[in-house]
Amino acid sequence: MSAIDQYLDSQAARFEEELCEFLRIPSISADPGHRSDMHRAAEWVADQFRHMRLAAEVIPTAGHPLVYAESPAVSGAPTALVYGHYDVQPPDPLEKWITPPFEPSRRDGNLYARGAMDNKGQMFTHLKSVEAWITVEGRLPLNLKFIIEGEEEVGSQ
Q: Rounded to the nearest 5 degrees, what angle is found at the Cα of 154, between the Cα atoms of 151 and 157?
A: 60
Q: List the catalytic residue out of 37, 131, 149, 152.
A: 152
Told to judge if 152 belongs to the known catalytic residues of this protein, a careful annotator would answer yes
Q: What is the C-alpha to C-alpha distance for residues 92 and 9, in angstroms, rounded to an integer?
A: 35
Strands 105-107 and 55-59: unpaired
Q: What is the C-alpha to C-alpha distance for residues 150 and 157, in angstroms, rounded to an integer?
A: 10
Burial of residue 70 (number of CB atoms within 10 Å: 0-12, 13-18, 19+) = middle
Q: List the catalytic residue out of 37, 87, 151, 153.
A: 87
Handedness of CA 78, 49, 66, 148 (dihedral sign): positive
Prior bond to 110 cis, omega within 30?
Answer: no
Residues noted as catalytic? 87, 152
